[in-house]
């Protein structure tokens, strides 16, 4: 694959008011045109990677008039001045669950957000947490449904709970009845051109990220996953066994281990044919301690899993069913100490999986970890020249993922 050039880092020139989604159609259309959105990590002076949300626009959207106008406006915008935010945001009319109004700015300060019901994110929206520590926790979390061109950046999302049935606002002009979200950190339904970057996700009721119902062109990058808890269920009962002389009292213990949600689900059901067109890129993520399985679990579609760090899974790392195509490239696999859990992969069925195209290329395996390959034919991701990038060797991944999760940086008067 062709190597794309490094892009310079230039922070947003605004200091931005509280937690509000903003409409930024030019940036979104430029940045989110396909499954890997052409962002390139640029090494800073200390050798670590920083992400420039604006620099991707010139690379992917150079031919669009919106992108050209955006670049001219950004070049002419003074870095020392920022608009004065209104003291009272203009909110939509009240509803049982209210979406944040659109604002051209990220968060002005650190905050912890507990939602009464799921937050519906519409098309051409960005949640940008740079420059503040922003947590979404203790309630239903984020849903992207039927949307296009969405960026979620720099959030810590944890301890999400199921939503409740009721009216939820999906836009300033629409309120609809919802059955209640499942308790995922981020759910992506029937959406495209979605980029999740530099987030930290842990300990939710269901999954951490679901990409389902015909969603495609999704990138999940530079994010940290950990501590997705399990539930242990013990059932005890007694059985009396009689023979001709004695009665025996037996204590029978049934043990059931269930993961409450799994890390990442790509594809709705084995029979949901619309997911055949799904394309997802996972890159520079850190799958840390306290994770069991499904990092990801893929149905039907295509997943490029590249330069991610995996540590001590409790069952397996990458799984799937219904003939998905998976390219594992340049990943770093550090397995658990249990000798029976060294295998990276798991097929959810024994039927004809040998024909599924699952490949490992330049992965780095520690302590006996191994990837069971299958199938034949090309598994190349088929990025456009603007999206193409060179995958690093798996041994380099600990360095590449050192800054996974929200960026911890402070530049006076500017976002990261």
Q: Which residues are catalytic?
A: 294
The full length of the chain comes to 416
Q: Using the 8-state DSSP alphabet, how is residue 6 labeled?
A: P
Under 8 Å between Cβ of 208 and 201: yes
Instruction: Tell me how crowded residue 408 is: count the other CB atoms within 10 A of its CB.
Output: 8
CA dihedral of 131, 88, 126, 402, whole degrees rounded to 10: 20
Q: How far apart are CA 286 and CA 307, in angstroms?
A: 9
Question: How far is residue 334 CA from its own chain's centroid?
Answer: 21
d(CA 291, CA 284): 17
Query: Which residue has 């219904």 as its token pair?
Result: 322
Cα separation of 115 and 110, whole Å? 16
Distance CA 286, CA 296 (A): 12
Q: How far is CA 34 from the centre of its chain?
A: 16
Which residue, 145, 317, 359, 306, is CA-closest to 225?
317
Q: How far is it, in rounded angstroms, from Cα 129 to Cα 386?
A: 26
In contact, 295 and 284? CB cutoff 8 Å = no
d(CA 286, CA 226): 8
- With 0-12 / 13-18 / 19 or more C-beta atoms within 10 angstroms meaning exposed / middle / buried, residue 342 is middle
């Amino acid at each position: 694959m062709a190597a794309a050039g490094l892009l310079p880092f230039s922070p947003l020139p605004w200091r931005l008011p509280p937690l509000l989604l903003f409409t930024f159609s030019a940036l979104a259309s430029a940045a989110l045109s396909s499954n890997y959105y052409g962002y390139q990590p640029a090494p800073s002076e200390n050798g670590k990677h920083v992400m420039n949300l604006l620099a991707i626009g010139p690379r992917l959207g150079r031919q669009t008039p919106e992108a050209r106008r955006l670049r001219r406006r950004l070049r002419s915008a003074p870095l020392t001045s920022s608009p004065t935010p209104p003291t009272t945001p203009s909110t939509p009319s009240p509803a049982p669950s209210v979406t944040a109004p659109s604002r051209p700015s990220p968060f002005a300060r650190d905050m912890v957000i507990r939602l009464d019901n799921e937050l519906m994110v519409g098309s051409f929206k960005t949640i940008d947490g740079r420059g503040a520590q922003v947590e979404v926790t203790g309630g239903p979390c984020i849903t992207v449904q039927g949307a296009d061109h969405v960026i979620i950046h720099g959030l810590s999302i944890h301890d999400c709970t199921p939503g409740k049935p009721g009216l939820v606002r999906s836009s300033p002009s629409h309120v609809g009845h919802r059955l209640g979200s499942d308790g995922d950190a981020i759910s992506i339904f029937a959406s495209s051109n979605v980029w999740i970057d530099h987030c930290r996700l842990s300990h939710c009721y269901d999954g951490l990220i679901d990409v389902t119902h015909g969603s495609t062109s999704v990138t999940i990058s530079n994010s940290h996953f950990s501590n997705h808890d399990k539930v242990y269920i013990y059932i005890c009962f007694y059985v009396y066994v009689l023979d001709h002389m004695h009665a025996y009292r037996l204590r029978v213990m049934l043990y059931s281990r269930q993961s409450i949600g799994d890390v990442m689900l790509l594809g709705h059901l084995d029979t949901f044919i619309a997911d055949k067109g799904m394309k997802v890129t996972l890159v520079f993520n850190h799958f840390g301690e306290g994770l069991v399985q499904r990092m990801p679990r893929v149905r039907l579609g295509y997943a490029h899993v590249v330069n991610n760090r995996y540590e001590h899974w409790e069952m397996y790392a990458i799984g799937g069913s219904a003939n998905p195509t998976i390219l594992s490239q340049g990943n770093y696999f550090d397995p658990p100490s249990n000798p029976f859990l060294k295998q990276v992969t798991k097929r959810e069925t024994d039927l004809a999986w040998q024909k599924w195209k699952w490949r490992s290329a330049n992965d780095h395996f520690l302590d006996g970890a191994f990837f069971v390959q299958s199938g034949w034919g090309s598994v190349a991701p088929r990025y456009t020249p603007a999206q193409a990038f060179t995958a690093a060797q798996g041994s380099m991944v600990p360095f590449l993922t050192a800054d996974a999760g929200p960026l911890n940086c402070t530049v006076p008067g500017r976002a990261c």
